[in-house]
Amino acid sequence: MNIQVEKTALVLIDLQNGILSHHCAPYTAKEIIERAKTLIEAFTEKGGFVVLVRVSSLDGKDMLHPITDAPAAQATGYPEGWDQIVPELADLPGTYTLTKRQWGAFHGTDLDVQLRRRGIDTIVLGGVSTGIGVDMTAREAFQLGYNQFFAEDVMGAADKEMHDYVRANIFPRIGRVRSSADIISYL
């Protein structure tokens, strides 16, 4: 299996200070960051497009505010730098950082435009949380017609059950689930 790097983007969701400071399962934040860095380096070495997506807010008013049963996380009152990409990834050359205001990386951002203008039809997706930001972005990408690879070992969730459910029941229906090592071997 081969991945055409010129037609593929690596999209990593919410690998930022305030998200990765929480528990991740089944992989630790350290493991996710190390594998993400390896993927980024492999993609940029081959001339691939890499997108680091972060969630942030100006004042909380730019976030979604639906009526729900479970309270939504507040986008205000976070410590300084919570919304910054982790230092291990922030300064890697050849990456594009995109800010989103909701779970998914496509709605309300220029991600689709950035990908289509580069002739990209496939994304490799990873990040945190598997069942929230990564899942929502994957579903949006599916609706937009993108082919997808899921770097399963470059993802984590609040608990293993959430990660495993999405990995086993959702991702195989909308793309291909692989390890980061397998994805690198396809480049």
Residue 91 class from Cβ within 10 Å (0-12 exposed, 13-18 middle, 19+ buried)? exposed
**Residue 165 CB contacts under 8 Å (≥ 6 apart), including other chains:** 131
Summarised one tens digit per residue, pLDDT across range 161-171 is 999 999 999 99
* Polymer length in residues for the chain: 187
CATH number assigned to the domain with residue range 5-35+48-56+81-186, chosen from the 4 options 3.40.50.850, 3.40.50.300, 1.10.10.10, 3.30.365.10: 3.40.50.850
Query: Domain locations in the chain?
Result: 5-35+48-56+81-186
pTM recorded for the entire structure: 0.92
The strand ranges marked E within the chain are: 8-13, 49-55, 95-100, 122-128, 147-156, 176-178
Among 106, 101, 83, CA closest to 15? 83
Angle (CA) 101-50-82 rounded to 5° is: 40
Share of the chain above pLDDT 90, in %: 82
Binned average pLDDT, 10 residues per bin, the chain of 187 residues: 95 95 95 98 96 84 64 65 93 94 95 98 97 97 98 96 97 98 97
* Spatial distance between the Cα atoms of 140 and 121, rounded to a whole number of angstroms: 13
What is the structure's pLDDT at 66? 61
